[in-house]
Amino acid sequence: MEWMLEAEKVSYDYAVFDENGAETGKTRAVDRVDLKVRKGEFVAILGHNGSGKSTLARHVNALFLPTEGDMFVEGMNTKDDDKLWDIRKKAGMVFQNPDNQIIASIVEEDVAFGPENLGFAPPKIVENVNMGLASVHMDEYRNASPNKLSGGQKQRVAVAGILAMEPDCIILDEPTAMLDPSGRREVMETINYLNREKGITILYITHHMDEAAKADRIVVMDRGSVVLSGSPREVFSQVDRMKELGLDVPQATELAWRLRKHGIAVRADVMTMEEMTEELCRLKSGT
């Protein structure tokens, strides 16, 4: 099967309550979203707060079920109760705050928690814990307390715990939002390695445009709907539209946009400072 994930007209409504706890109505967080993600693809989802991106992501491993429409993971409908654990083995989720996901007092025990609960045999659990820690370069911390780790290290332990469950897809909901630049870099290096070297499908939610630029494809959401989709160059070159949506673009793309507004003929799809330097050198040489 070509598709890892398939959302077909997925909608999701939250209940609204008054101060007394009585339900007063519904609000639509995701509105008739169609989205397909190929196996091995790295897809970044962008959108301002309240755009529906995190709500959509929680449908992938059946934390939420669609109010309308269907979500499929390798052809399995998340509404099928009999497929729930099969789906969660296929699609693991990493959240913004690793402290909400780490529960054990020792790193290797935490990484073992997922495969233990999935009923893996003890030798398989040991093998997968070793694999998970090695994949995120945290072997030497296996006997450490998670409380002694940096934010980036904690997030890598959270990723190792998901890897130990042998997923084909990992959903990451703003995993670098609480990290410093060093921690962000550590996590992004791990994610790129898992995608490029291990072939794991990545669904990545972020507010950081430089992180999204590393994806194969970017999906932009607004008011619960998908409003833009394409390669990073295709999406980020639409600077006016991104600004209308309250979103930024990479610094080099912003600079190119501003130069073009002043009549300087640089490429609109510049993404990096290296590319911008090349463009300026080209203009200077007159080629």
Q: What element of type H or E holds 112?
A: helix 107-117
> Which tens digit of pLDDT belongs to each residue from 206-215?
988 989 999 9
Give mean pLDDT, residues 28-36. 96
Which residues, in sequence order, are CB contacts of 48 under 8 Å at separation 6+? Answer: 222, 245, 246, 247
> Which tens digit of pLDDT belongs to each residue from 116-156?
988 899 999 999 999 989 888 899 999 999 989 988 899 88
Q: Which domains does the chain have, with CATH numbers?
A: 3-231 (3.40.50.300)
User: Where do the DSSP E strands lie in 47-142?
Assistant: 68-73, 76-77, 91-94
